[in-house]
Structure 1
């Protein structure tokens, strides 16, 4: 075989094996914009006013203490017609805060309910 024919044969083989092969880089993902939004406002507190005093305190059997938790006492919830008992629950301790239990307070226009909250200090 002549060297010219061998060169053409090699060139034809290279062309045949690489024809149509295009290497494209993978598509780059479009960066998503980062939006820094202010934190949402605290949930709106709806004041509950009942026309009559709540029944005596809810009697609960509290398990022994749990390290890192405080017991949030149960309370009476006014549903618009009558009082309904709500069971207590464990709240994780928040360092630097103390827990104020839910309670009712009498004012001139009726009985006002205060939800259980964590207070600084």
Structure 2
């Protein structure tokens, strides 16, 4: 009976010794996600010119380029006079069509419309 008691005591002692050496680690802290900062979109500014724009800009349109459309140049009103802005390539967006920059006359002057992609 002593050997049984001794064996039980040894088992309990071994369990206590092995448990004393255990370290319970806290769960890993979640890593913070990287924050991606982007420039805010420019504010929408409606440009109204008091006088009509000059005739369309005459520019040499480059040969077609697969996957792109040529956005024609236009006249920009800088607050005092019209300044020419050259054309550029726009990447084609399937399912959309491109409306080129243009001026529209209304009762209070000439309104500028930026080039945009329109669904359809």
* Fold shared, TM-score > 0.5 on shorter chain: yes
Aligned counterpart, 1:3 = none
1:57-68 paired onto structure 2 within 5 Å:
57-68=56-67
Question: Aligned-residue CA RMSD in angstroms?
Answer: 2.6
The two structures have a TM-score, normalised by structure 2, of: 0.68
The two structures have a TM-score, normalised by structure 1, of: 0.68
Secondary structure at the counterpart of residue 104 of structure 2? strand
Tell me, yes or no, if structure 1 residue 105 matches structure 2 residue 107.
Answer: no
- What CA distance in whole angstroms lies between the structure 2 residues aligned with 1:67 and 1:35? 36
Aligned counterpart, 2:92 = 93
Aligned counterpart, 2:78 = 79
Aligned counterpart, 2:5 = none
Tell me, yes or no, if structure 1 residue 49 matches structure 2 residue 26.
Answer: no
- Structure 1 stretches lacking a partner, 5+ long: 1-28
- Displacement of 1:45 in angstroms is 1.8
- What CA distance in whole angstroms lies between the structure 2 residues aligned with 1:63 and 1:42? 30
- What CA distance in whole angstroms lies between the structure 2 residues aligned with 1:32 and 1:120? 40
- What CA distance in whole angstroms lies between the structure 1 residues aligned with 2:34 and 2:101? 37
- Structure 2 stretches lacking a partner, 5+ long: 1-27
- What CA distance in whole angstroms lies between the structure 2 residues aligned with 1:67 and 1:73? 17
Kindly provide the CA deviation profile for residues 52-109 of structure 1, in whole angstroms up to 9, marking residues without a partner as x.
0000000010111001000000000000000000000000000111000000000000
- How many pairs does the alignment contain? 92
